[in-house]
Amino acid sequence: MATKVNRTVSEVETRSLRHPPELLLGLYRMMVKCRLCDEKARILFRQGKYSGNFYSNVGQEAGEVGAAYSLRKDDWIAPSHRDWTANIIKGAPLKYCFAQLYGKATSPDRGRSTPAHMGYPELNVLNPASTIAAQLMIGTGIAWGLKRKGSDAVVVAYCGDGATSIGWFHEALNFAAVHRLPILYVVQNNLWAESVPLRLQTALRDLSDRGKGHGIPGVSVDGNDVLAVYDAATAAIARARRGEGPTVLECKTYRWYGHSEIDPAKYRSPEEVEAWKKKDPIARFERWLTEQGLLNDALKANIYQEINREIDEAVAFAEQSPYPAPEEALEHVWAKS
Amino acid sequence: MARTLTYIEAINEALRQEMERDERVCLLGEDIGIGGGVFKATAGLYEQFGEDRVLDTPLAEGIIIAAAIGASLVGFRPVPEIQFADFIGDAVDPIIQQAAKLRYRSAGGFSCPITIRVCWGGGTGGGLYHSQENTVWFAHEPGIRVVVPSTPYDAKGLLIAAIRDDNPVLYFEHKKLYRTARGEVPEEPYTVPLDKAAIRRPGRDMTVITYGYMAGVTLEAADEMARRGVEAEVIDLRTLNPLDKETILASVRKTNRCLIVHEDRKVLGIGAEVAAMLTEEAFEDLDAPVLRVGAPEIPAVPFSPPLENFFMVNRDKVVAAMEQLAAY
């Protein structure tokens, strides 16, 4: 049932323009935005501007953006701890995303959660927890509710390769399969679950095969090819909207940095990391867009400048925002019925 | 003469009436639909409301609760069932890390109005894995209510209140009470407050705090003590989280003595919290140490009748503790 799509760069480059230029540039711009925000978040952490930790998504932007870029406002995202940028893709203003890093009162949850657990209720982005695969379970429940309501909205639920080993992953997939729920499970297979290599995680070659045992179509794509991800995701989302059920989409990719900012990731060889950095999903898409005549140095500089200005403003907003009052810790425990 | 129902009939009626009143209410769990529930708590509901609203789930407690949570985020009021409290382990993460915390960690952006029915308790020969009590695992967690009805009236009123409440609620129903407890239950829907204990028997000489199946056992013991000249005030907690401190404190300030009785193990049961709270807030009012009666420190309820009887708190054990407290 699983379809294996492992395009090479040359195949991508020879593909004719099947997407409108504004979509292609939109995907590019969003990947750059996620990259720049993520890198800025890392710098700010290293500068001691905020406490806790940060779980970088750099290197995985093609999967992150490609899977969720086409979502509507009434669709949902169920992110993992590594998907802070999912909020950005869904449309959360950067100033609130950076306020989240700082734990400021202007963050959507008034400083309760770490950056890893940012959600955005207004935009249907679930708050993740650190319990791996929990978001897949809750996301599946959301999909069940959407289906029962007769809505054609869908859920995109992200996880890593490690999450596919835990029982809840399978409870979620099984339930979604039984009820043909409108959900896309995006497995960002970055080869490392914290420090555990894939060979100790699974005997499978393709994690999309995880869907097979549950009767769910599985697709594995080059997770550094944003169009491959986008095409597979939009096909799966369209199926889901038609009531044809869930899909498992494996994006084969790589996490450039450690599990978190306090992890030097010495368990990986420098050669491995360098080889993957050469497959940078953004540089690759940039080259292709340039060859298609859609991008040039001036436009690129303009995009970077615009995003960097937005980030600077967001950081300033976060830094100028107040912290929550200590006793606010007591609020929002109980609903007042 | 008002109408009487058994405890399980009261539960069934509460579910039926809330489902008739509010189409957002739906049930899910193992064997609750086609089979009507292993104890028949949901009997007839599948036939009346159909599979869309009374769903037999795969055998996986985690997704039962998670599906309920997710559906609640898009407007439903799901009532999932955990067939036996002993099986709740797989669902502890969705209950504690998700349901109890979603409102808090989203600063009120998300709320999770689900009512988790859990069948619990010993004294029925259920053995190690069909008898356990684990109410205090959850009573320790702010953000999720824990209710423990002991009468048919409360079983209906607390369940309706739980379903209408915007907080997640764990509703622990005691299997020994299903068909042994019978009492007056109004036909029309009504609610019982989710944070108020009930004084089941007024008394001046001591306060005895209890809940669940032990409420009836304690009332029998109080009757025996009355014959011996000791008038105990029996408080049925009804809700373990949040605890109704006001009712407890008012009673103890009047009687100056307190005993806590529960089916749960004595060590680190709810009695430990009540006793600690009393020493902090009513030390000067106490004429005697706070005493507790609970189960011994063994891992679960053993099967063989003499072993189970040894585990379970009974009237005589409660009477002995009341005598000890009265004599102090």
> Is B156 in CB contact (< 8 Å) with chain A?
no
pLDDT at A14 exceeding the cut of 60: no
pLDDT digits (tens, 9 = 90+) for A115-157: 899 999 999 999 999 999 999 999 999 999 999 999 999 999 9
pLDDT at A82 exceeding the cut of 50: yes
What does the pLDDT read at residue B2? 81
With beta carbons under 8 A apart, name residues in chain B contacting A117. 105
Confirm if B319 and B224 have CB atoms less than 8 A apart: yes
Name the residue among B67, B74, B109 with its Cβ closest to that of A149.
Answer: B74
What amino acid is encoded at B117 in this protein?
A: R
pLDDT at A36 exceeding the cut of 70: yes
Catalytic residues of B: 130
What does the pLDDT read at residue A242? 98
Q: What's the rounded mean pLDDT across residues A219-223?
A: 98
Name the residue among B72, B98, B165 with its Cβ closest to that of A134.
Answer: B98
Say what the pTM is: 0.96
Name the residue among A126, A174, A334 with its Cβ closest to that of B167.
Answer: A334
Query: With an 8 Å Cβ cutoff, are B70 and A117 in contact?
Result: no
Interface of A with B (CB under 8 A): 108-110, 112-113, 117, 119-122, 126-127, 129, 131, 134, 137-146, 148-149, 151, 167-168, 171-172, 174-175, 178, 331-337
Domain boundaries along the sequence of chain B: 4-184, 198-327
Closest CA to A248 of A177, A190, A200: A177
Catalytic annotation present for A259: yes
Q: Strand, helix or coil at B41?
A: coil
Taking one residue from A and the other from B, the number of pairs with CB-CB distance under 8 angstroms is: 140
Name the residue among A129, A145, A337 with its Cβ closest to that of B71.
Answer: A145
Asked if the domains at B4-184 and B198-327 fall in one CATH topology, the answer is yes
Q: Name the CATH architecture for the domain at A3-321.
A: 3-Layer(aba) Sandwich (3.40)
Name the residue among B70, B75, B107 with its Cβ closest to that of A112.
Answer: B107
Min distance A8 CA to chain B CA atoms (Å) = 38
With beta carbons under 8 A apart, name residues in chain A contacting B164. 337
Residue labelled with tokens 């540089």 = A283
Query: With an 8 Å Cβ cutoff, are B52 and A333 in contact?
Result: no
What does the pLDDT read at residue A17? 87
pLDDT digits (tens, 9 = 90+) for A303-322: 999 999 999 999 999 999 99
Query: With an 8 Å Cβ cutoff, are A149 and B75 in contact?
Result: yes
Q: In chain B, which residue's Cα lies nearest the Cα of A114?
A: B105
pLDDT digits (tens, 9 = 90+) for A240-294: 999 999 999 999 999 999 999 999 999 999 999 999 999 999 999 999 999 999 9
Catalytic annotation present for A332: no
Token readout for B116 is 């988790």
Domain boundaries along the sequence of chain A: 3-321
Q: Strand, helix or coil at A215?
A: coil
| From the candidate CATH numbers 1.10.10.10, 2.120.10.30, 3.40.50.920, 1.10.645.10, the one assigned to the domain spanning B198-327 | 3.40.50.920
What does the pLDDT read at residue A295? 97
With beta carbons under 8 A apart, name residues in chain B contacting A335. 103, 111, 113, 165-167
What does the pLDDT read at residue B40? 98
With beta carbons under 8 A apart, name residues in chain B contacting A152. none
DSSP B284: G
Asked if ipTM goes beyond 0.90, one says yes
What does the pLDDT read at residue A1? 42
CATH code assigned to B4-184: 3.40.50.970
For residue A7, what pLDDT band results from cuts at 50, 70 and 90?
very low
What amino acid is encoded at A216 in this protein?
A: I
pLDDT at A10 exceeding the cut of 50: no
Residue to test with chain A: of B23, B27, B30, B63, most A Cβ within 10 A: B63
Min distance A110 CA to chain B CA atoms (Å) = 6
Residue to test with chain B: of A100, A106, A109, A137, most B Cβ within 10 A: A137
Low-confidence ranges of chain B (pLDDT < 70): 1
Query: With an 8 Å Cβ cutoff, are A334 and B72 in contact?
Result: no
